[in-house]
Structure 1
Amino acid sequence: MSATRYLEIAERLSAELAECARGTRVASEAEIARRFGVGRAAARAAVQELERRFVVRRTQGSGTFVNRRIDYVISRSVPPSWSATIAAAGATPRALVKSVRTIPLPAHLADRFERPAGSPVHEVVREFYIDDLLASWVHEWIPVDEVPHLDLALHAVDSVDQVLRQTVRVRPMRAWCRVSIDVPPTEVLRVLRMESSQPAWLVESVSRDEAIGDVLMCSRTWTRADAVRVVVELDERAATGADAGTPRRAITPQ
Structure 2
Amino acid sequence: MSNPTMRQRLWAEGLGTFWLTFGGCGSAVLAATAVTANAFPVGIGWLGVALAFGLTVLTGAYALGHLSGGHFNPAVTLGVWAAKRVETAAVAPYIIAQIVGGSIAGAVLYVIASGAPGFDAVASGFATNGFGDRSPGGYSLLAVAVTEIVLTAVFLWIILGVTSSKAPKGFAPLAIGLALTLIHLISIPVSNTSVNPARSLGVAWFAGTDALSQVWLFIVAPIVGALIAGFSYRALTGDSEAVVAAEVRESALADA
The TM-score, its normalising length taken from structure 2, stands at: 0.23
Which of structures 1 and 2 has the bigger CA Rg?
1
Structure with more strand by fraction? 1
RCO higher in structure (CA 8 A, sep ≥6): 2
User: TM-score w.r.t. structure 1 length?
Assistant: 0.23
